[in-house]
Chains A and B, each alone.
Chain A
Amino acid sequence: MTSIQQQVHTWLEEGRVDIFLAYRMVEGHPLPHAFTRERIDETDTLVTGPARYSLEKFATHIASRYPDAKIGMVARDCNQRALNVLQVWNQLKPGQVDTVPVNCCPSLLKPHADCSYLEPKPAGHVKLERGQDPNQSLAQADTLPRAERFDRWMYEFSKCIKCYGCRNICPVCFCKDCSLEHPDLIGTGHLPPDIPIFHLVRAVHMAGRCIDCGLCEDACPAEIPLRLLYRKVNAIVKDLFGYETGSGDTLPPFSILGDKPTMSPQPLLAVSQE
């Protein structure tokens, strides 16, 4: 028994948690699994990776049905950030989820998780020529001339098949009525969906919320560099409001009014002919 298996066994036995979310291998696939006291022997098969699912999202599903359940889970850094955000947004009660921290990357030679940071995919030729390279830095994405930047983003967005995968997989997207499905906000019945509105609406909602886990970009069948877009969103939130998303338990800047406006509106842009 590894020390983590031992720890989970003890936690379940002592009643520290009622249910523990981790992974186990099923037919060669690492799949999420809920360990419970009734089936405590299963803890022998507990593994912590290498695949990465949004365990905290399952925790919110349990918590919405059993508000008093004590939930445990293995948590990488991104899981922990997501849990912080979910608590801030009242999806989980403080202290309801107990975590066993696990490492994303135990060795430099063998990346443990399938996180897009640890095993980034190189962008192909067409993407480099026409789209936005998901591996570039934010500063780099800002260097292109505006018109080209716009066209490259629109090229990326135009590939969207409106599968809602980015929203469905996202640990911090939990709204009952999602704006993306509102026919007055996003037109229905055509592909690609209304671009760039579809992607910008989601980007705006991710301000002060997205914890940069990269699951959306992993789940996007059109390979749209969503993580890059949302990283920019939260870079803006940090620059303007000094709010670090996922870091603690304070409310994000858009959900509180604040005492006094400390900013002033931007002046009219003096545009040179670019």
Chain B
Amino acid sequence: MTLKRMTFLQHLLDFMGLAGRLHLEWISSAEAQRFVATVTGFTETIRRLGPSPLRSAALRRYDNISAAPVPCSGPASLQPPAMPDSGIQIANG
């Protein structure tokens, strides 16, 4: 059950853009070596990933959104209408 849930959650978090920060491993009390290797490996992974993006999100800074709009996937009828040029500049931040 744990395995099912964790695997599911790993996929879901990856979809949201948070990958590699959740890990599951079974280690018996006799496997000291494996414990050390896993913890070291996971610490390394986390260090390489850097601080959690949740921190900057808490400050409501979404810096990684590219300015270019994503093309809408639906049929042409779903494309948004062209925006009239109001002359107002919307600050992107």
Touching chains A and B, CB distance < 8 Å: yes
A residues sitting closer than 8 Å to B (CB atoms) are: 120, 122-125, 128-130, 133, 135-137, 140-142, 144-155, 158, 195-196, 200, 203-204, 207, 232-233, 236-237, 239-241, 253-254, 257, 261, 263, 265-266, 268-269, 271, 273
Residues of B within 8 A of A263 (CB): 3-4, 7
Residues of A within 8 A of B38 (CB): 268
Residues of B within 8 A of A240 (CB): 4, 7-8, 11
Contact A265 B15, CB 8 Å, known A120-B74, A125-B83, A151-B65? no
Cα-based distance from A142 to B16 in the complex (angstroms): 9
Residues of B within 8 A of A150 (CB): 16-18, 53, 57, 64
Residues of B within 8 A of A158 (CB): 57, 60
Known pairs A145-B64, A147-B53. 20 more at Cβ < 8 A?
A: A122-B72, A122-B74, A128-B69, A128-B72, A146-B18, A151-B57, A152-B62, A153-B17, A154-B62, A155-B65, A196-B16, A254-B4, A265-B24, A266-B24, A268-B38, A268-B45, A269-B19, A269-B20, A269-B23, A271-B45
Q: Write the nearest CB–CB distance from B15 to chain A, whole angstroms.
A: 5
CB<8 Å pairs between A and B, sample of 10 = A122-B81, A128-B80, A136-B70, A146-B18, A152-B62, A195-B57, A236-B15, A254-B4, A263-B4, A265-B26
Cα-based distance from A200 to B18 in the complex (angstroms): 12
Q: CB distance A137 to B73 under 8 Å? A: yes
Q: How large is the interface on B (under 10, 10 to 19, 20 to 34, 35 or more residues)?
A: 35 or more
Q: CB distance A204 to B67 under 8 Å? A: no
B residues sitting closer than 8 Å to A (CB atoms) are: 1, 3-12, 14-20, 23-26, 38, 41-42, 45, 48-49, 53-54, 57, 60, 62-67, 69-70, 72-74, 77-81, 83
Cα-based distance from A148 to B62 in the complex (angstroms): 8
A146 in complex: contacting residue of B17, B54, B80, B81, CB < 8 Å: B17
Contact A141 B4, CB 8 Å, known A136-B70, A271-B48? no
A237 in complex: contacting residue of B8, B10, B23, B67, CB < 8 Å: B8
Cα-based distance from A258 to B66 in the complex (angstroms): 44
Residues of B within 8 A of A273 (CB): 48
B57 in complex: contacting residue of A122, A154, A237, A268, CB < 8 Å: A154
Q: Which residue of A lies closest to B58 (CB)?
A: A195
Residues of A within 8 A of B5 (CB): 254
Q: CB distance B62 to A133 under 8 Å? A: no
Q: Which residue of A lies closest to B11 (CB)?
A: A236
A203 in complex: contacting residue of B1, B12, B77, CB < 8 Å: B12
Residues of A within 8 A of B23 (CB): 265-266, 268-269
Q: CB distance B15 to A141 under 8 Å? A: yes
Cα-based distance from A136 to B72 in the complex (angstroms): 7
Q: Which residue of B lies closest to A151 (CB)?
A: B62
Q: Which residue of A lies closest to B14 (CB)?
A: A146
